[in-house]
Amino acid sequence: MKTESQRRPTLRAPRPHQDARAPTHDERVLLHGVSWEQYRAISDALGDGVHARLTYLEGVLEIMSPGDAHERKKSRIGALVELYALERGIELEAYGQTTFRKRTQERGLEPDECYVFGRSLRGRKRPDLAIEVEETRPALRKLEVYRGLAVPEVWLWRGGRLSVHALVGETYETREASAFLPGLDLALVASLVRSSRSLTAVLRALRARVRGEE
Protein backbone atom coordinates (compact mmCIF):
# COMPACT_ATOMS: atom_id res chain seq x y z
CA MET A 1 0.00 0.00 0.00
CA LYS A 2 1.76 3.08 -1.19
CA THR A 3 0.77 6.58 -0.14
CA GLU A 4 2.02 9.47 -2.21
CA SER A 5 2.77 13.02 -1.09
CA GLN A 6 4.56 15.30 -3.51
CA ARG A 7 4.75 18.83 -4.76
CA ARG A 8 3.12 19.37 -8.09
CA PRO A 9 5.71 19.48 -10.92
CA THR A 10 6.74 22.69 -12.60
CA LEU A 11 5.68 21.47 -16.05
CA ARG A 12 3.20 23.99 -17.53
CA ALA A 13 0.14 22.80 -19.36
CA PRO A 14 -1.15 24.91 -22.28
CA ARG A 15 -4.02 27.18 -21.30
CA PRO A 16 -6.70 28.99 -23.27
CA HIS A 17 -6.79 32.76 -23.28
CA GLN A 18 -8.17 34.09 -20.00
CA ASP A 19 -9.04 37.45 -18.51
CA ALA A 20 -6.02 38.57 -16.49
CA ARG A 21 -8.23 39.52 -13.54
CA ALA A 22 -8.74 36.95 -10.77
CA PRO A 23 -12.31 35.63 -10.53
CA THR A 24 -14.40 37.18 -7.78
CA HIS A 25 -15.98 33.87 -6.74
CA ASP A 26 -14.78 30.27 -6.72
CA GLU A 27 -15.57 28.41 -9.95
CA ARG A 28 -16.09 24.63 -9.87
CA VAL A 29 -16.32 21.85 -12.45
CA LEU A 30 -17.25 18.28 -11.50
CA LEU A 31 -16.22 15.26 -13.60
CA HIS A 32 -17.52 11.74 -13.02
CA GLY A 33 -15.99 8.42 -14.05
CA VAL A 34 -12.38 9.61 -13.76
CA SER A 35 -9.90 6.78 -13.18
CA TRP A 36 -6.99 7.05 -10.76
CA GLU A 37 -4.58 7.08 -13.70
CA GLN A 38 -6.50 9.91 -15.38
CA TYR A 39 -6.56 11.92 -12.17
CA ARG A 40 -2.81 11.49 -11.71
CA ALA A 41 -2.13 12.47 -15.30
CA ILE A 42 -4.24 15.64 -15.00
CA SER A 43 -2.70 16.54 -11.64
CA ASP A 44 0.85 16.01 -12.88
CA ALA A 45 0.30 17.85 -16.16
CA LEU A 46 -1.27 20.97 -14.68
CA GLY A 47 1.75 21.89 -12.58
CA ASP A 48 2.18 25.03 -10.50
CA GLY A 49 1.35 27.47 -13.29
CA VAL A 50 -2.37 26.69 -13.44
CA HIS A 51 -4.72 28.51 -11.09
CA ALA A 52 -6.78 25.43 -10.22
CA ARG A 53 -7.07 22.93 -7.40
CA LEU A 54 -8.08 19.32 -7.77
CA THR A 55 -10.00 17.14 -5.33
CA TYR A 56 -10.44 13.45 -6.16
CA LEU A 57 -12.77 11.04 -4.37
CA GLU A 58 -13.51 7.55 -5.64
CA GLY A 59 -13.77 8.34 -9.35
CA VAL A 60 -15.13 11.87 -9.07
CA LEU A 61 -12.86 14.86 -9.79
CA GLU A 62 -13.62 18.42 -8.77
CA ILE A 63 -11.63 21.20 -10.45
CA MET A 64 -11.86 24.47 -8.55
CA SER A 65 -10.53 27.87 -9.59
CA PRO A 66 -10.37 29.98 -6.41
CA GLY A 67 -11.65 33.54 -6.38
CA ASP A 68 -9.84 36.50 -4.89
CA ALA A 69 -11.87 36.40 -1.64
CA HIS A 70 -10.91 32.74 -1.18
CA GLU A 71 -7.22 33.44 -1.69
CA ARG A 72 -7.25 36.43 0.64
CA LYS A 73 -8.83 34.47 3.47
CA LYS A 74 -6.64 31.39 3.17
CA SER A 75 -3.53 33.58 3.09
CA ARG A 76 -4.67 35.47 6.19
CA ILE A 77 -5.37 32.28 8.12
CA GLY A 78 -1.96 30.91 7.18
CA ALA A 79 -0.17 34.12 8.16
CA LEU A 80 -1.94 34.22 11.53
CA VAL A 81 -1.08 30.56 12.21
CA GLU A 82 2.57 31.16 11.42
CA LEU A 83 2.78 34.31 13.54
CA TYR A 84 1.18 32.55 16.50
CA ALA A 85 3.61 29.64 16.19
CA LEU A 86 6.52 32.08 16.09
CA GLU A 87 5.32 33.96 19.16
CA ARG A 88 4.68 30.75 21.13
CA GLY A 89 7.86 28.97 20.07
CA ILE A 90 6.00 26.20 18.24
CA GLU A 91 8.12 24.52 15.56
CA LEU A 92 6.36 24.04 12.23
CA GLU A 93 6.95 23.79 8.50
CA ALA A 94 4.51 25.19 5.93
CA TYR A 95 3.71 23.18 2.80
CA GLY A 96 0.99 25.33 1.23
CA GLN A 97 -0.83 23.54 -1.58
CA THR A 98 1.30 20.41 -1.75
CA THR A 99 -0.53 17.54 -3.48
CA PHE A 100 -1.42 14.55 -1.27
CA ARG A 101 -2.68 11.36 -2.90
CA LYS A 102 -3.45 7.84 -1.75
CA ARG A 103 -4.28 5.32 -4.42
CA THR A 104 -5.61 2.60 -2.08
CA GLN A 105 -8.21 5.06 -0.79
CA GLU A 106 -8.86 6.71 -4.20
CA ARG A 107 -8.35 10.15 -2.70
CA GLY A 108 -6.25 13.18 -3.46
CA LEU A 109 -6.24 16.95 -3.06
CA GLU A 110 -4.24 20.11 -2.46
CA PRO A 111 -5.08 21.90 0.83
CA ASP A 112 -5.39 25.67 0.86
CA GLU A 113 -2.65 25.62 3.50
CA CYS A 114 -1.05 22.79 5.44
CA TYR A 115 1.56 22.32 8.16
CA VAL A 116 3.79 19.75 9.78
CA PHE A 117 4.73 20.35 13.41
CA GLY A 118 8.11 19.60 14.95
CA ARG A 119 9.63 18.00 11.86
CA SER A 120 9.69 18.16 8.08
CA LEU A 121 7.39 16.41 5.60
CA ARG A 122 10.29 14.30 4.33
CA GLY A 123 9.22 10.66 4.44
CA ARG A 124 5.76 11.64 5.69
CA LYS A 125 2.52 10.62 4.01
CA ARG A 126 0.37 13.56 5.09
CA PRO A 127 0.49 16.87 6.99
CA ASP A 128 -0.51 17.30 10.63
CA LEU A 129 -2.87 20.20 9.97
CA ALA A 130 -4.73 21.15 6.80
CA ILE A 131 -6.78 24.31 6.25
CA GLU A 132 -9.69 24.60 3.82
CA VAL A 133 -11.58 27.77 2.90
CA GLU A 134 -15.08 27.14 1.59
CA GLU A 135 -16.36 30.41 0.15
CA THR A 136 -18.79 28.38 -1.96
CA ARG A 137 -20.08 24.89 -1.23
CA PRO A 138 -17.68 22.23 -2.55
CA ALA A 139 -19.12 19.44 -4.66
CA LEU A 140 -17.06 16.83 -2.83
CA ARG A 141 -16.87 16.29 0.92
CA LYS A 142 -13.38 17.49 1.83
CA LEU A 143 -13.44 15.87 5.27
CA GLU A 144 -14.15 12.51 3.65
CA VAL A 145 -11.07 12.98 1.45
CA TYR A 146 -8.94 13.98 4.44
CA ARG A 147 -10.26 10.99 6.42
CA GLY A 148 -8.92 8.62 3.78
CA LEU A 149 -5.58 10.43 3.87
CA ALA A 150 -5.51 10.17 7.71
CA VAL A 151 -4.82 13.87 8.29
CA PRO A 152 -5.05 14.37 12.09
CA GLU A 153 -6.58 17.86 12.11
CA VAL A 154 -8.51 19.92 9.55
CA TRP A 155 -9.71 23.52 9.89
CA LEU A 156 -12.71 24.55 7.81
CA TRP A 157 -13.64 28.15 7.07
CA ARG A 158 -17.39 28.36 6.42
CA GLY A 159 -19.78 31.27 6.77
CA GLY A 160 -17.17 33.52 8.31
CA ARG A 161 -16.20 31.03 11.04
CA LEU A 162 -13.42 28.56 11.71
CA SER A 163 -14.14 25.05 12.93
CA VAL A 164 -11.60 22.46 14.06
CA HIS A 165 -12.06 18.79 13.15
CA ALA A 166 -9.87 16.17 14.82
CA LEU A 167 -9.54 12.63 13.49
CA VAL A 168 -10.59 10.14 16.16
CA GLY A 169 -10.31 6.59 14.86
CA GLU A 170 -11.88 6.87 11.41
CA THR A 171 -14.18 9.80 12.15
CA TYR A 172 -13.71 13.55 12.47
CA GLU A 173 -15.01 15.14 15.64
CA THR A 174 -15.46 18.87 16.17
CA ARG A 175 -13.15 20.46 18.73
CA GLU A 176 -13.14 23.85 20.44
CA ALA A 177 -9.39 24.32 20.00
CA SER A 178 -6.43 23.05 18.02
CA ALA A 179 -4.24 20.30 19.45
CA PHE A 180 -1.26 21.66 17.53
CA LEU A 181 -1.70 25.36 18.43
CA PRO A 182 -2.90 25.29 22.05
CA GLY A 183 -4.21 28.56 23.40
CA LEU A 184 -4.96 30.06 19.98
CA ASP A 185 -8.29 31.93 20.12
CA LEU A 186 -10.03 30.77 16.95
CA ALA A 187 -12.84 33.30 17.36
CA LEU A 188 -10.20 36.03 17.37
CA VAL A 189 -8.55 34.53 14.29
CA ALA A 190 -11.90 34.49 12.49
CA SER A 191 -12.58 38.12 13.37
CA LEU A 192 -9.15 39.11 12.06
CA VAL A 193 -9.74 37.18 8.84
CA ARG A 194 -13.04 39.03 8.36
CA SER A 195 -11.48 42.40 9.22
CA SER A 196 -11.26 45.10 6.55
CA ARG A 197 -7.87 46.13 7.93
CA SER A 198 -4.67 45.28 6.11
CA LEU A 199 -2.86 42.00 6.65
CA THR A 200 -0.09 43.87 8.45
CA ALA A 201 -2.62 45.43 10.81
CA VAL A 202 -4.28 42.13 11.72
CA LEU A 203 -0.92 40.49 12.34
CA ARG A 204 -0.01 43.33 14.69
CA ALA A 205 -3.34 42.83 16.48
CA LEU A 206 -2.70 39.11 17.02
CA ARG A 207 0.86 39.74 18.17
CA ALA A 208 -0.33 42.32 20.70
CA ARG A 209 -2.96 39.91 22.04
CA VAL A 210 -0.45 37.06 22.38
CA ARG A 211 2.02 39.32 24.15
CA GLY A 212 -0.66 40.63 26.48
CA GLU A 213 -0.36 44.16 25.15
CA GLU A 214 -4.13 44.57 24.65
Convert the pLDDT of each residue in 116-146 to its tens digit.
Answer: 998 777 777 899 999 999 987 777 899 999 9
Q: Could you give the strand order of the β-sheet that contains 171-175, starting from the edge strand earlier in sequence?
A: 92-94, 113-117, 129-133, 153-158, 161-168, 171-175
8 A C-beta contact, residue 151 and residue 167: yes
Q: How high is the pLDDT of residue 120?
A: 75
Average pLDDT for 1-11: 41
Q: How high is the pLDDT of residue 161?
A: 94
Average pLDDT for 192-202: 96
Domain 3-210 has CATH 3.40.50.300: no
Q: How high is the pLDDT of residue 119?
A: 77
Tell me the pLDDT band of 18, cut-offs 50, 70 and 90: very low
**Residue bearing the bigger pLDDT, 39 or 50:** 39
Q: By mean pLDDT, which of 30-39, 128-137, 166-175 is the weakest?
A: 128-137
**Residue bearing the bigger pLDDT, 2 or 197:** 197
Q: How high is the pLDDT of residue 48?
A: 55
Q: Of the candidates 24, 60, 61, which has an alpha carbon nearest to the alpha carbon of residue 46?
A: 61
Question: C-alpha 72: how far from its chain's center?
Answer: 13
Residue type, 137: R
Other Cβ atoms less than 10 A from the Cβ of 209: the count is 15
